[in-house]
Amino acid sequence: MSSLENKVAVITGGGSGLGEGIVRAFCKEGAQVAIIDNNVVSARQLADEITDSGGIAIALQADVGDESDVPKAFKQVMNTLGNPDILVNNAGIDTTSLLEDMSIELWDEMMRVNLRSMFLCTREVIQGMKEKNWGRIINFSSQLAHKGAPTMVHYCASKGGVLSFSRALAYELIEYGITVNSICPGPIETPLYMAIPEEWRQAKESSMPIGRPGRVDEVVPTVLLLASEKGSNYVGASMNMNGGDVMI
């Protein structure tokens, strides 16, 4: 039996980049996957490809930072696939600005998408996981939550909040067989990363021991571990695959 056989998984931001890699890996391991993404076109293309290959995947459009969108999307997941066993909060954004030049709109949008979304999405799955006495919640933070970075105060603050959110929630849910953990990757070669100004990317990569961004396939195995039964001893952990940028 594959490691995620008969599990229902929800991946936010699953239509491209790192999320797409996670979706493909989960389906390969037998999971039934719901892809929630603001870009429903790419999400549907991925879901159709998986379905045509014999897997089970659905695509739903939602703004994961929107309080009205999120419950509707998760209701569709539950009506179609059942209560989620696994939630991967992967959706996120990054932008750059010196703090003195930062608008309140830029700050608020970062918190809304990167942090508020985790609260909204996670709240939707807890009761169903409690009923099963089993669940996996995996939240994407960043190595910059540990290290910080110039022109990314808002991003670092949002990702630091993810770590604290995950640790506190881990205490609340472990008695129900539900684990909560964080993933803290360094730069990963995805469309999101490539949208950052090239000057920033070059400076970042030259400072890293590995000297390059990571690849999606270097992150996915850790996500699979945390999502599976073999990941049951990881509680409130932060998993750091970042090319040596932060050594913890």
Residues designated catalytic: 155
Element (H, E) at 181: strand 178-183
C-alpha to C-alpha distance for 107 and 124, rounded to whole angstroms: 25
Q: Which residues contact 29 (CB under 8 A, 6 or more apart)?
A: 2, 3, 4, 5, 224, 228
Provide CB contacts within 8 A for 59, sequence distance 6+. Answer: 15, 34, 35, 37, 40, 43, 44, 46, 47
Strand ranges in 63-171 using DSSP code E only, listed in sequence order: 86-89, 135-140
Whole-number Å distance between alpha carbons of 96 and 3: 39
The rounded distance, in Å, linking the Cα atoms of 95 and 91 is 14
Angle at CA of residue 131, ends 50 and 62, nearest 5°: 45
Residue 15 identity (one-letter amino acid): G
Single-letter code of the amino acid located at 55: G
- Please answer whether residues 38 and 12 qualify as being in contact, where contact means their C-beta atoms are separated by less than 8 angstroms: no
